[in-house]
Chains A and B, each alone.
Chain A
Amino acid sequence: MKEQNYIKLEFPSKSTNEGFARAAAAAFAAQLDPTMEELGDIKTAVSEAVTNAIVHAYPDSIGLVAMKMRILDGQVLEISVKDWGCGIEDVEKAMQPLYTTGGEDRSGMGFTIIGSFMDKLRVRSTPGKGTTVIMRRTICPRIGKR
């Protein structure tokens, strides 16, 4: 798929940046003319992925989080969230509903929500080296607009 446009962001893993990350994602996605529901889904998925990096990748320190967004042919929005934190030992287990290592402050539903709001979700992780979450969502062209 040919890339039409992209942005890259880097920020420290501070929870105050969660709101910034999803606002930036919404602003970039706006050029695809998404519905309010599609925009809400994208913001939610970004919030979950960035929160995972902040809470789980760097539990006791502040590290770097990189977010890249691409627009691909066919109105496809691709978002990747990358960290260089502790990594995930068992990705399959981590993606199961209600699984969390974050105690009662976490619901364990982050990956489940990303999976239901985005068309594709892929997680690559190496323990001790970091994690990359890649998600895609096709934005439906609106009738009469294209």
Chain B
Amino acid sequence: MNINTSFSDGRLTIYLSGELDQHEARSTSECIAELLDEYLPRDCVLDLSALSFMDSSGIAVIVKANRHIKTIGGRLWVENPARQVLRVIDAAGLDRMIPVDTGRVGGLT
């Protein structure tokens, strides 16, 4: 599991790559929380294009990040999930809580 970031004009993009399961969930959550506290972004994008696997532990990580950013007055969304990750997001109904941009024509789902 690797985490990279870019920050520009109040927007923090967090790039997650590798596999996000329960084994990686706690350290990933802690890292995202530290990044949010460091940058205090207005907008935060979780870019999942390089995340090759995620299970429901990843759903908990995203929900926790969303809860955290709300405490600092920002908003969060998810971008470019690969097919397996998108199926987990759909099955969990995460897209009813957090905007998910699949990269398809038409933008956010």
**Could you tell me which A residues sit within 8 Å of B by CB distance?**
15-16, 18-19, 22, 36-37, 40-41, 43-44, 47-48, 51, 54-55, 97, 104-110, 112-113, 116-117
Contact between chains at A117 and B87 (CB < 8 Å): yes
Known A-B contacts: A18-B21, A44-B55, A51-B57. Give 8 more (CB < 8 A).
A15-B23, A18-B22, A40-B84, A41-B87, A44-B84, A105-B60, A107-B59, A109-B91
Majority secondary structure of chain B interface residues (helix, strand, loop or mixed): helix
Give Cα A28 to B12, complex, Å. Answer: 41
Min CB–CB distance A47 → chain B (angstroms): 4
- Please tell me if the beta carbons of A37 and B87 are within 8 angstroms of each other in the complex: yes
- Inter-chain CA distance A104–B19, complex, in Å, is 20
CA distance A96 to B93 in the complex (A): 14
Contact of B60 among A22, A40, A107, A116 (CB under 8 A): A107
A138 to B22, CA, bound (A): 27
Of A47, A48, A106, A107, the most chain B CB neighbours within 10 A belong to: A107
> Is B49 in contact with chain A by the CB < 8 A criterion?
no
Known: A15-B22, A18-B22, A54-B22. A109 touches B56 (CB 8 A): yes
B60 to chain A, nearest CB (A): 4
Count B-side interface residues using an 8 Å CB cutoff: 22
Are B91 and A43 closer than 8 Å at their CB atoms?
Answer: no
- Tell me the minimal C-beta distance from B4 to chain A in angstroms: 21
Chief secondary structure at chain A's binding surface: helix
Mask for B62-106, Cβ within 8 A of A = 1, else 0? 011000000000000000000110011001110000000000000
> Are A40 and B25 in contact, with the CB atoms below 8 A?
no
- Contact count A vs B, C-beta below 8 Å: 75
23 CB-based A-B contacts, threshold 8 Å: A16-B23, A41-B84, A43-B53, A44-B53, A44-B87, A47-B21, A48-B56, A51-B56, A105-B26, A105-B29, A105-B60, A107-B63, A107-B92, A109-B56, A109-B59, A110-B55, A110-B56, A112-B91, A112-B92, A113-B55, A113-B56, A116-B91, A117-B91
In the bound complex, residues from chain B placing their C-beta under 8 Å from that of A19 are: 19, 21, 23
